[in-house]
Amino acid sequence: MGEGGSRAIPLWDLPTRLTHWAIAVAFGVSWYTADNHLMGAHRISGYVILGLVVFRLYWGVAGGSTARFASFVRGPGATLAYARTLPRRDSVAVAGHNPLGAWSVVAMIVLLAAQVGMGLFAVDVDGFESGPLSHWVSFETGRTIAGAHEWGFRGLLVLIGLHLAAVAYYHLYKRQNLIGAMIHGRRRLGEGAEPLKGAPLWRLALGVAIAAGLAWAIAKGLRF
């Protein structure tokens, strides 16, 4: 038992934490490989992100209690009410994602899905390096999508920057260690906080199979 009646409780399940860090690493690899024109590796990292995003969407419905979108996505009223507490240093820590953080998670997943989706149809200027589904669109459309793919990357950089700034703000100003909880899965919260309720192993296995199977099929260009 900690100070003020707080206690460290299980908060994030292992699949949620692994997915979070795997996306971060795969995004970094995608960035590096694109800048250095390593398009074979870039495509592989894109397929990895695709599988991770599919799994996170699945886990947001079938996963542990704190991973489910229904447990943390709130409406405008609750989000604005929480935003008013941001200047307060002593605001109560929220179990799981707070309402603002929840919408940043949704935005991140949507942008990642859009970014990967555009990469699947993108065509380079010479037509040699193309996404696995580029045969479904014309060359001109593929080039337009490639341009949007570049702008989508810039949008993701802005969102990631805001995410890192928020983590730093909570750590330095509010004294809430969000990174630690995403590493070891536990967080110190008040007595009334609900601990994580995990999902059965078969749901995890099903989610991994769905994500891996879909990523593999798309990487093959849906050609069987």
The model's pLDDT over 113-161, given as tens digits with 9 standing for 90+, comes to: 999 999 999 998 876 778 999 999 999 999 999 999 999 999 999 999 9
- pTM (2 decimals)? 0.90
| Burial of 87 per CB tally in 10 Å (0-12, 13-18, 19+) | exposed
Percent of the chain with pLDDT over 90: 65
The domain limits of the chain are 3-219
Can you state the angle between helices 99-121 and 139-172, rounded to 10 degrees?
160
| Residue 38 φ/ψ, nearest 5 degrees | -100, 75
pLDDT given at position 71: 87
In terms of C-beta distances under 8 Å and separation of at least 24 residues, what long-range contacts does 163-172 make, across chains too?
A: 163/104, 163/108, 166/100, 166/101, 166/104
Nearest to 129 by CA among 109, 110, 149: 149
pLDDT in tens, 53-84: 999 999 999 999 889 999 889 899 989 998 89
Instruction: Please list, in sequence order, all residues whose beta carbon lies within 8 angstroms of the beta carbon of residue 72, skipping any fewer than 6 positions away.
Output: 66, 96, 97, 98, 99, 101, 102, 105
In which region does residue 185 sit, left (phi positive, over 0), alpha (psi from -120 to 50) or beta (all else)?
Answer: left
Query: Residue 130: beta bridge partners?
Result: 123
Question: Distance of CA 89 to CAs 47, 167, 173, Å?
Answer: 41, 14, 6
pLDDT given at position 26: 97
Contact call for residues 158 and 115 (beta carbons, < 8 A): no
Looking at residue 123, the DSSP 8-state letter turns out to be B
HSE, side-chain direction, 13 A CA sphere, residue 146: 19
Distance CA 64, CA 66 (A): 6
- What top-level class would CATH report for the domain 3-219? mainly alpha
